[in-house]
Amino acid sequence: MSKIIARTFFSLSRLFRAAGKKVQPRDPQWAAILREWKEKRGDQTLRMEYDLDADSTVFDLGGFKGQWASDIYARYRCIIEIFEPYLPFATGIEQRFAKNPDVRVHRFGLDAEDKKMSISPAGDATSLFTNEEKSGGEEVNLKRAKGFLQANNFDRIDLMKINIEGGEYSLLEHLIEENLTQNIDNIQVQFHHFMPNAKARMQAIQEGLRKTHELTYQYEFLWENWRKR
């Protein structure tokens, strides 16, 4: 019996890591959310199905290895702006799309202000905000979202995917405060539970988004999407 339990724990741990989460094997509610997501093949369906075409502009915040961007491009042949502040990841994405002029890679992240932070690698859970970043980190750049969008004339974004391991809170708070969410047709975001006051901040952001957007799907602390009304 102990071997069965160990195998079950290991399998669940792998699923949580694949979703970019800290492992929470004692949280049956979250495990049920994750199980439903997997059953519905959310990564292959919900996260991919949008009204996009070759004229659409997509922002990929948290590019990692560029797989989501690659899948979106294969479907829609749209313009994709990838933001990846961690240099090894950014370099890999640049090499992957080196001959594709429709995909541009930015070696910085978007946030509420211009700043530099320290980061340490942890695969697809690499974060500026976990305890691991305090030792042996690498400096990365973040740019104020409003300044970047205005300077580069991004007055409409068809889809913004946000998976930035904790940075989604300050970014979305900034976008809402500056009334920039009204320029984004779809916001696909993964909220992360390990940030201080995560649930309260998430709920406040969701209330702000409801002023301009409607929820199309939600799997709490996994993935959700907001579509402009």
pTM of the model: 0.84
223 within some domain: yes
pLDDT of 6: 35
- Over residues 196-216, the pLDDT tens digits come to 999 999 999 999 999 999 999
Mean residue pLDDT of the chain comes to 86
**148 is a domain residue:** yes
The pLDDT, as a whole number, for residue 136 is: 59
pLDDT digits (tens, 9 = 90+) for 160-186: 999 999 999 999 999 999 999 999 999
Residue 52 falls inside a structural domain? yes
pLDDT band at 141 (very low <50, low <70, confident <90, very high): very high
Q: What CATH number has the domain bearing residue 86?
A: 3.40.50.150
**Is position 203 within any domain?**
yes
Quote the CA–CA distance of 110 and 64 in Å, as a whole number: 15
Cβ atoms of 118 and 103 closer than 8 Å: no
Q: What's the structural domain count of the chain?
A: 1
Tell me whether residue 209 is in a domain: yes
What percent of the chain is modeled with pLDDT above 90?
77
Q: Could you tell me if residue 222 is inside a domain?
A: yes
Q: Is residue 193 within 8 Å of 21, Cβ to Cβ?
A: yes
Q: In this predicted structure, what is the pLDDT of residue 118? A: 87
Residue 7 makes CB contacts below 8 A (sequence gap 6+) with: none
Tell me which residue range forms the domain holding 202.
14-228
Which residues, including other chains, have CB under 8 Å from residue 29's CB and lie 6 or more apart? Answer: none
Q: In which band, very low, low, confident or very high, does the pLDDT at 138 lie, cut at 50, 70 and 90? A: confident
More confident residue, 134 or 97: 97
Q: Average pLDDT in the 86-105 region?
A: 97
Q: 6 lies in a domain?
A: no
Q: Is the pLDDT of residue 126 over 80?
A: no
Residue 22 covered by a domain: yes
Mark residue 166 as left, alpha or beta (left: phi above 0; alpha: psi -120 to 50; beta: remaining): left
